Structure 1
Amino acid sequence: MFAPVEEFNTFLADIGSVIWGPFVLIPLLLGTGLFLTIRLRVLQFRKLGPALRLGLLKRNDDGGEGDISQYQALTTALAATVGVGNIVGVATALALGGPGALFWMWVTALVGMASKYSEAFLGVRFRVTDARGEQSGGPQYYLHRGFAEIFGRSGARVGLILSIVFAVFAVLASFGIGNMTQGNAVATQLENSFDVSPVTTGIILFVLTGAVLLGGIKAIGRVTAGFVPLMILLYIVGGLVVLVVNADQIPAAFGLVFSDAFTGTSAVGGFAGSAILYAIQMGVARGIFSNESGMGSAAIAAAAARTTHPTRQGLVSMTQTFIDTIIVVTFTGLVLVTTGVWQGGSDNAGTMTADAFASAIPEGDKLVAVSIAFFAFSTILGWSYYGERCMERLVGARGVIPYRMVFTCVVFIGAVTELEVVWNFADVMNGLMAIPNLIGLLVLSGLIVRETRHYLDNDPGLNATSSQVEEFMGARTR
């Protein structure tokens, strides 16, 4: 690495450690989620059942406006979050923070569901119809329009600045964590496990990505609706086999997760207090990185959904965090703990999950490689839409096609290039895009709570038809 590049990489790493450290994003993200959980009266626990039914069984909100079904919006958001972080990220958290880090990942997800609900609610509440007649929304819109609605002209100025800042960082992040790093992960795994050339992988990714992106959000929604459930199922079935083989270790694994969360016997050693803090830091940081609750990205997909009310899509969207962390991450964590490979040290985090699968399943490492390839490709599709919508916010509809073309080409570059600098750059961009969104969630929390309570008072079971929703919403304004 050339000296200037190395210096820049060191600079990015230092900035990232501050942004994702214990004094900036971790308390801000966790605190915002806890604040919203309290204000919404633990909505994520009270309404999880109806939300799962609406998103996974009913799947479509008849009569609502939007471009894709609620289920497709959910799978698009899942595509962007269920990725390398669910495998390698969890291994890194446990290798550094000990099994107790898994507990703090659960905590982060449970309070993060309130953040995910809130940003999806706002995404639908303040979405707009673009020049092509499609729904467009997310922090790049609700920060501006929400602040204007509450505070008038002065609030609109502040909201406009925050919305532009979010959009800029989101576009930059889409080329990092949503593109080059994912393409590189696919190429690396396929080369290591199947001797596939990175150039070959890059060409395949280029063709597949381009083919899907040319169809826009409707094509992305159709692909992820069929692709994401199968990819998650494949990985979970493999994890179940490993857990069945090590069934006698499961009770001890849960005991270790809970005890280490508060006693601090982490893999990094040190005195108990420091180990506890490190377990919390690693669990929260990796949990947020995995499910993106509070970052605002999932609101962009939610805004495209056909839904009769923002509350309904908000509840569907919050199940994404539940599926991503409480289900997929938990399987990874338990596999690592029951097999004991979590003790291999952080230098081996990249292969820990593969080693754990291989210990119970013949060619299990190849199953993990295929899972990582699927997860990473799905992330590319999800983030392409996020970046496209933010690019449109910045320069208008004329920027969409050029963005898609550049994004598709960059996938190939990521597959054939070493990316240490890009990883650090992506971490910084992800963190910076979360800050304006969190400010918006806190400022707009009163509106979220007020309108959510009104809706749920009239439709607590989420069973109302579109005409019934219009009726009780109309009665409110009369």
Structure 2
Amino acid sequence: MQAINHYLLTLDGFLGSAAWFPWVLLGVGLFFTLYLGFPQIRYFGRAWSIVRGKHDHSKMAGDTSHFQALSTALSGTVGTGNIGGVGLAIFLGGPAALFWMWMTAFLGMTTKFVEVTLSHKYREKTDDGTMAGGPMYFMDKALNMKWLAVIFALATIVSSFGTGNMPQVNNIAVSMEATFGIAPVVTGAVLSILLALVILGGISRIAKVTATLVPFMSVLYVIGALAVIIYNLDNLASSFVSVFADAFTGSAATGGFLGATFAYAFNRGVNRGLFSNEAGQGSAPIAHAAARADEPVSEGMVSILEPFIDTIIVCTLTGMVILSSGVWTEKHHNTFQTADVEYVQGHYSDAIDVDKSELFHYLTGQESRVQAYNGVIVIRDGEAVNQDFTLIAARSVAEEVRYTVKGFPFTGNLEIAQGKPLDLDVTIEGRSLLHSAELTTKAFTRGYFGEYGQYVVSIGLLLFAFSTAIAWSYYGDRAVTYLFGSRWILTYRVFYVAGFMIAAVADTTIVWNLAAVSIVLMTLPNLFGILLLSKEMKDTVAGYWSTSPDVEHEGSKGQTPAE
């Protein structure tokens, strides 16, 4: 597992975590925002009216309504990225990461408008009578780049596991075990059966389920978040200030948090923003391609709402819960995941400024005198005898560390190579920072609901993540349909359910790293494709305003297209 995790981190270093990737993602969004005249602002009101069915006409081709398509796409985006992803972004980049999530969402509203419009325009009816669309179709039919379409479709299949499947059930299983004591294997088994029952019904059943789940889970989560934010209202203003104050400087060390550079906050914020709202990834266009609409631009407008709801609203609520509660800088007792553990030579304390600075440089890849530990740790009755090392757990100095095997205190030698323990049967626990869903869960206990607040996260995470897995199964089977035909859909669904079950008991850090890699493998071909079709996109929007019957009707009332 360590070897797999190392390979994924290396690959991610050239892709999503590379310095160039956030600039490419934001750059494409900024280009279309300026090129199309800020459509995320001008068409925002009309998008809501389209979702309500105000501009629908009879006999429109498609499998779902505008609202069902939006719900399916939202169920694919509102998931662990809003709960665990925000927690991971703040854990890595501090409050500043939230600012760059906002910027990703604002520009992403335009990117999604473009990719959905083009995908809907070039959709087609498959041999089983359902609609199929997505970036692979405009790459093939508009750009005549079959090779690029194949790359995107293959990446979509991989990403359906790395983004929509494995991280979702993994976070559910961790949360259910922490909150209710339910074994991950039980959670995985039950949810795998439910997932199979839903996705075997195709897009019609998927759309109906997500249209029911999305509103309910959103209301539940908002109530739970407000219970924490209002309880910590005195800290809310300073939390907002820290987001903006640190946006261009990085976050200083606070409590157990050892600090983050601007580059790290920027990269993690954009990266987690993409994971949350998927703007530019090319996934949501697959859901919107099934919507009943004769005008591709109208469906593109509906998609503008997704990053707004997903990131500007839901992620902001999560971020303010974490920041205002203060838990992100505090150490809490937990069992350390192997991928989060690193031993370094010598004794360091986060109560000493010099030590904090050296550890900060080490963790952010800068020059530092800190070196990885190599040697043997002698352990007696669960406690280390020699003290010639410092244990870094979850990017913080671990405290009150205990070593156990199957719940009993461990006695013996633990060999450490390049900072990593070699005996994975030894469980290491103690006090450290938290990240991902565990951090968000802890933050929700600091409100009016007290310890019961963790149930809001657990139930919300269950609904969010499960609905995301449902939506992504559809994205994957549309990619399979494009590549191999509809006869292979059932085979794909079987593997999808199996992957869902396996991921429930996998290492969460490895799962998140797989997700980070697979996202980029979809995003880059998609961004390249929509840039090549920028002129066609502008002409398509202009044609919509000049020929759509309901637009002409509005014009007779003296309204402008932007209204």
Q: Would you call these one fold, judging by a TM-score over 0.5?
A: yes
Query: Is the Cα contact below 8 Å between 1:60 and 1:71 reproduced in 2?
Result: no
Residue matched to 2:440: 353
Q: In the aligned structure 2, how far is the partner of 1:225 from the partner of 1:91?
A: 27
1:386 aligns with 2:475: yes
> d(CA) in 1 for partners of 2:248 and 2:520?
27
Q: Alpha-carbon deviations, 1:113-144, whole Å to 9, x = none?
A: 11100110011100010001111000111111
The superposition leaves residues 342-383 of structure 1 with CA deviations (integer Å, 9 ceiling, x where unpaired) of 323754113221122101123111211111111110111010
Conserved? CA contact 2:12–2:18, under 8 Å: no
Determine the structure 2 residue equivalent to 1:287: 273
What is the alpha-carbon distance in structure 1 between the residues aligned to residue 41 and residue 166 of structure 2? Answer: 36
Q: What is the CA–CA distance in structure 2 between the aligned matches of 1:451 and 1:81, rounded to whole Å? A: 26
Measure, in 2, the Cα distance between the counterparts of 1:375 and 1:321: 15
2:295 to 295, 309, 313: 309
Q: Which amino acid aligns with 1:405?
A: V
Contact 2:84 2:171 in 1 (8 A): no
| Structure 2 equivalent of residue 166 of structure 1 | 152
1:332 and 2:356 aligned: no
Tell me, in whole angstroms, the C-alpha distance in 2 between the residues paired with 1:354 and 1:460: 49
Partner of 1:145: 141
Q: Is the 8 A contact 1:60 1:69 kept in 2?
A: no
- For the 8 Å contact 1:61–1:70, the answer to whether it is kept is no
Q: Which structure 2 residue ranges, 5 or more long, are not aligned?
A: 332-393, 395-432, 557-563
Q: Secondary structure at the match of 2:524?
A: helix
Candidates 163, 181, 184, aligned match of 1:195: 181
Whole-Å separation in 1 of the counterparts to 2:230 and 2:511: 39
The match for 1:471 is none
Q: Which amino acid aligns with 1:285?
A: N
2:502 to 399, 413, 437: 413
Partners of 1:464 and 1:415 lie apart in 2 by: 53
Select 1:132's aligned residue among 125, 128, 134: 128
CA contact (8 A) 2:171 2:508 kept: no
Using the alignment, how far apart are the partners of 1:144 and 1:333 within structure 2? Answer: 40
> Could you tell me how far 1:253 is from its partner in structure 2?
2.1
Relative contact order, CA 8 A, sep 6+: which one is greater? Answer: 1
Quote the Cα distance in structure 2 between the aligned partners of 1:457 and 1:341. 53
| Maintained 8 Å contact 1:78/1:324 | yes
Matches of 2:261 and 2:258, distance apart in 1: 7
Alignment match, 2:87: 91
The offset of 1:314, in angstroms, is 0.3
CA distance in 1, matches of 2:86, 2:550: 35
Does structure 1 conserve the Cα–Cα contact (< 8 Å) formed by 2:328 and 2:434?
Answer: no
Pick aligned residue for 2:222 from 210, 226, 236: 236
The equivalent residue for 2:15 is 19
Equivalent residue, structure 2, for 1:224: 210
**What amino acid maps onto 1:78 in structure 2?**
L
State the partner residue of 1:151. none
CA distance in 2, matches of 1:357, 1:420: 22
More helix by share: 1
User: AA paired with 1:352?
Assistant: L
Per-residue displacement from partner, 1:381-409 (whole Å, max 9, x unpaired)?
01000000001111111111211222123
**What's the secondary structure of 2:129's corresponding residue?**
coil
State whether structure 2 residue 538 is matched by structure 1 residue 449: yes
Cα deviation per residue 1:14-45 (whole Å; 9 max; x = unaligned)? 11122012433211111111111111100001
Contact 1:266–1:276 under 8 Å retained in 2 = no
1:367 pairs with 2:456: yes
Instruction: Quote the Cα distance in structure 2 between the aligned partners of 1:276 and 1:301.
Output: 35
Report the counterpart of residue 476 of structure 1 in structure 2: none
Distance 1:341 1:56, change over 3 A: farther
For residue 348 of structure 1, give the secondary structure of its aligned residue in structure 2.
coil
Aligned to 2:60, what secondary structure does the other structure show? coil
Q: 1:417 to 1:100 in 2, by over 3 A?
A: closer
- Larger CA deviation: 219-228 vs 169-178: 169-178
Contact 1:96–1:266 (Cα < 8 Å) also in 2: no
What letter is aligned with 2:104?
Answer: T
Q: Cα distance, 1:203 vs. partner?
A: 2.3
SS of 1:370's equivalent in the other structure is: helix
The one of 77, 93, 113 aligned to 1:81: 77
**C-alpha distance in 2, partners of 1:204/1:463?**
52
Cα 1:460–1:281 shift into 2, 3 Å: farther
Determine the C-alpha separation between the residues in 2 that align with 1:63 and 1:26. Answer: 42
Give the Cα separation in 1 of the matches to 2:553 and 2:126. 29
The structure richer in strand per residue is: 2
C-alpha distance in 1 between matches for 2:265 and 2:508: 27
1:415 deviates by 2.0
Give secondary structure in 1 for the equivalent of 2:163: helix
Indicate the residue corresponding to 1:28 in structure 2.
24
**Inter-partner Cα distance in structure 1 for 2:98 and 2:18:** 17
Once the 2 structures are TM-superposed, how far is the Cα of residue 297 of structure 1 from its aligned partner? 0.5
Q: What code does the residue aligned with 2:263 have?
A: L
RMSD: 2.2
Q: Partners of 2:505 and 2:235 in 1: how far apart?
A: 41
Deviations 1:25-77 (A, max 9, x none): 21111111111111110000111121123225659664421000111111111
Aligned to 2:425: none
| Distance verdict in 2 for CA 1:382–1:341, change over 3 Å | same
| 1:65 aligned residue (44, 52, 61) | 61
Deviations 1:255-313 (A, max 9, x none): 2221121343345667xxx8223222221111111111001000100100001201100
* Cα contact 2:108–2:307 (8 A) shared by 1: yes
- The 1:129/1:396 distance shift into structure 2, 3 A limit, reads same
Partners of 2:276 and 2:75 lie apart in 1 by 11
Structure 1 residues 136 and 282 mapped into 2: Cα distance closer, same or farther (>3 Å)? same
Query: Kindly, what percent of the aligned residue pairs are identical?
Result: 41
Deviates more, 1:218-227 or 1:454-463: 454-463
1:410 corresponds to which letter in structure 2? G
- Cα distance in 1 for partners of 2:98, 2:211 equals 28
Can you list the C-alpha shifts for 1:411-449, whole angstroms capped at 9, x where unaligned? 222223445544433321221111111100100111111
Contact residue 63 and residue 307 of structure 1 kept, 8 A:
no
CA distance in 2, matches of 1:60, 1:375: 29
Give the TM-score, by structure 2 length: 0.76
Q: Which runs of 5+ in 1 are unaligned?
A: 148-155, 469-478
Runs of 4+ that moved beyond 6 A: none
